[in-house]
Structure 1
Amino acid sequence: MGTWGIGSFDNDDAADFMIDVLDSGDLSLVREVLDNVLTSTEYVEAPDAALAIVAAEVVAAGRGRPTLAAQQEEGLADWLARIRPSIDADLVAQARQALTRILADHSELRELWEETEDSHDWQAVVTELRGHLDP
């Protein structure tokens, strides 16, 4: 995975996923990647985690609580205005649970970030995003 920063959208997987989301007409891709993280039996793979973080950004933005990164993500606000997705409490809870799993043990992405000097900053970004999903 090509990564150029600690932000949710700062990697190749995220960029490719956003293209797919913005080409879609609903939240099915968002639901799918969140489900991948939540149903992984023991270990959350890094690519799944990276996509779930972006999916959580979409959920937070869709419920009117976008992070600064989501506000700056080209096309996201227009897509949300056009699609007007229904963000129910279950989807918000799934996004929050996925982020909790990504920050916990048995997360490849967390382990990869722990090998860098940016680990604490990355964890702060994900934790802040999780806060945008609070009730």
Structure 2
Amino acid sequence: MGAWGIGSFDNDHASDWLLDLIEGEDLAPMRAAIAQVLAEDDYLDSDLAVEALAAIEVLAATLGRPTAAIQDETEFQAWLARLQLQGDPSLVPEALRALERVLAPDSELRELWEETEDYEDWCADVARLRSHVGA
């Protein structure tokens, strides 16, 4: 999986996604990552799930409810301060549905975490993210 921790940015794919985001000037990739997870009817690929978690972290931050994980991303924080982007509260219901999709039985990311001793901690981390975005 290429992960070194349970956090949303504790893996190569999410870190790369975040770097791609901050090379741009808007939140379109955030919206796209959430929408892509919701558009998947079949088995959810882990890369799509990881991108959605990162996107939901970004959404929470742009709504003024950042998690500790996104606060540690100093390049993102500088990018957000420079562009002064505001999140769209109307995306919250979609983000919450995307989190449910990531946690669903037909999610590869969930299956990968289930195979580790950190599964419960990962679920708790996703629940913390949910509380930030849905606050």
| TM-score of the two chains, using structure 1 as the length reference | 0.95
2: CA distance between counterparts of 1:35 and 1:46? 15
Matches within 5 A, 1:72-87: 72-87=72-87
Task: Show the counterpart of 2:15.
Answer: 15
| Stretch moving more, 101-110 or 87-96 | 87-96
Corresponding pairs, count: 135
Amino acid at match of 1:43: Y
CA shift, 1:121, in A, is 0.3
CA shift, 1:58, in A, is 0.3
CA shift, 1:91, in A, is 1.6
Matches within 5 A, 1:37-116: 37-116=37-116
2: CA distance between counterparts of 1:85 and 1:101? 26
| Stretch moving more, 107-116 or 96-105 | 96-105
**How large is the RMSD of aligned CA atoms in angstroms?**
1.1
Amino acid at match of 2:89: A
Alignment gaps of 5+ in structure 2? none
Runs of 4+ residues deviating >3 angstroms: none
CA shift, 1:85, in A, is 2.1
CA shift, 1:79, in A, is 1.4
Secondary structure of 1:132's counterpart equals helix
Task: Show the counterpart of 2:34.
Answer: 34
CA shift, 1:131, in A, is 0.6
| TM-score of the two chains, using structure 2 as the length reference | 0.95
2: CA distance between counterparts of 1:126 and 1:14? 14
CA shift, 1:29, in A, is 0.7
| Stretch moving more, 72-81 or 48-57 | 72-81
Secondary structure of 1:75's counterpart equals helix
